[in-house]
Amino acid sequence: MLLDWYDAHARDLPWRAAPSTTPPDPYRVWLSEVMLQQTTVAAVKPYFAKFTERWPTVQALAAAPEEEVMAAWAGLGYYSRARNVVKCAAEVAALGAFPDTEADLRKLPGLGDYTAAAVAAIAFGRRAVVVDANVERVVARLFAIEDSLPGARKTIRVKADSITPDTRAGDFAQGLMDLGSGICTSRDAKCLLCPLQKVCKGRASGDPLRLPVKAPKKAKPSRTGTAFWIERDDAVWLVKRPGKGMLGGMRSLPDDGWSARGDGNKDAPLSGAWKAAGVVRHSFTHFDLELGVAVHAEHRPAPGGEGEWWPTGSIEEAGLPTLFAKAARLVLAARD
C-alpha cells in the first residue's frame, strides 16, 4: 500500500532518486540527512545546492579548509553538525568510499542510529529501520501508541521494524517520511488521502491528532550577554570562537560569554566609551538568549588576541552564525 502510494506521490527532492530506480549517491544522501537534522526541507535546499555545487564529491569536501565549510554552513544552525561533516568527509575520503552497512556507517563521526540507518537503506538498499520525526508520528498513529514521548520511542521503533520490508526499505522509509510531511502532519490528519487509512488504529480511535502523546514542555532558561562592535576604516573586528562549545569554530563578534548583561563595557575587549546599539534575541535548543550590542565610540587599534578586520560592506560573506549576523544587521541598519 505505502510503496504504491510512494511510487505515485514521492516528493521531488534534490538529494533523492526516483522510486524503484538506481539508488542515489551516498554522499548526497549523507549530506542531506545531516543537514535535515532538526531543520526543515525548505531551509536545507539552498544550503544543499550550495554545498554540492562547490564540493560535488565527498573527496572535494574532505579537501576543503574547515573554515570555508563552517562559513558555508553559517545560518543553518547546530554547528556541531558542520564540524562532524568535515571530520566524516575526511574519514570517508581516507576509506575510499562510504561503508555500505548500518553498523560500519555508525562508526563514522556524527552518524548516530538514525543517519546510519537512513544512508544504509536509501543509498545502499539495506534493510534498516529509519525513524525520524515524521515517521515517529505516522507509526504512533498507525498503531495508536498511547505512551508519551520520549518514552514511547522504543515502542515506536519496534513497530516500525515490524512493518519495514526486506526489499525497498529506503523507499519505504521515504514513503513514511512523505506521508508524515504532507498527509499525516502534526496539525492535520488527512485520513481520506492516506494509503494506510484502513489499517490505522489512530483513525479508528476518532482522534488521531492526539498522537503521538507528548510530555509537557519544560520552560527554557534565559541567558543575557553583550556582543561588541569594534570598527575602523570601514572594517569590523571579528574573532574565531573556540573549536568546542556553542558556535564552535565560527567567526563572530567578540562577546562577554552570555552569562550576564553588564554595564556596556564589562568584559569588553577594549577600554573606553561604548554606546548601546540595541538588543537581538535568539533561541537555541536549550536556552533563549538576549544579546545586547555595544559599539565602540572611538577608532582604536586592534584588541588583543587573534582576530581579523572584515570589511563591513561585505559582512554577509563572513559566514557569521545567525545570532551575530542579526547583531551586525542591527548596527548597520541603525547607521543607514
End-of-domain residue from the set 154, 187, 214? 214
Same structural domain for residues 35 and 101?
Answer: yes
Same structural domain for residues 65 and 154?
Answer: yes
Three-class SS state of 201: helix
- What crossing angle do the helices spanning 113-124 and 169-182 adopt, rounded to 10°? 120
Nearest to 261 by CA among 296, 223, 215, 232: 223
End-of-domain residue from the set 175, 195, 214? 214
Q: Mean pLDDT for the chain?
A: 92
**pLDDT tens, position by position, 60-69:** 999 999 989 9
**pLDDT of 262 strictly over 50:** no
| The pTM of the whole model exceeds 0.75 | yes
Please give the C-alpha separations between residue 4 and each of 1, 9, 105, 107, in angstroms, as whole numbers: 5, 9, 29, 34
Same structural domain for residues 55 and 137?
Answer: yes
| 336 band by pLDDT with thresholds 50, 70 and 90 | low
Same structural domain for residues 206 and 278?
Answer: no
Predicted local distance difference test score (pLDDT) of residue 92: 98
Predicted local distance difference test score (pLDDT) of residue 265: 55
**pLDDT of 189 strictly over 60:** yes
Same structural domain for residues 148 and 230?
Answer: no
* Contact present, 232 and 298 (Cβ < 8 Å): no
CATH of the domain at 177: 1.10.340.30
Sign of CA dihedral 46, 51, 57, 58: negative
Task: Tell me how many helices (H) and strands (E) the chain has.
Answer: 13, 9
**pLDDT tens, position by position, 27-73:** 999 999 999 998 999 999 999 999 999 999 999 999 999 989 999 99
Same structural domain for residues 11 and 92?
Answer: yes
**pLDDT of 260 strictly over 50:** no
CATH of the domain at 290: 3.90.79.10
Same structural domain for residues 151 and 298?
Answer: no
Q: How many CB atoms lie within 10 A of CB 326?
A: 17
Same structural domain for residues 178 and 75?
Answer: yes
**Distance between CA atoms of residues 204 and 184, nearest Å:** 14
Same structural domain for residues 42 and 188?
Answer: yes
End-of-domain residue from the set 170, 187, 214? 214
Same structural domain for residues 83 and 139?
Answer: yes
**pLDDT tens, position by position, 138-173:** 999 999 999 999 999 999 999 999 999 999 999 999
The H or E element spanning position 213 is strand 213-214
Total of domains in the chain: 2
**Distance between CA atoms of residues 257 and 224, nearest Å:** 9
**pLDDT tens, position by position, 110-123:** 999 999 999 999 99
Same structural domain for residues 137 and 254?
Answer: no
Structural domain boundaries enclosing 92 = 2-214
Q: What positions carry a catalytic annotation?
A: 33
**Cβ within 8 Å of residue 323, ≥6 positions away:** 247, 252, 280, 282, 289, 291
User: Would strands 231-232 and 222-229 be described as parallel, antiparallel, or unpaired?
Assistant: unpaired
Same structural domain for residues 142 and 20?
Answer: yes
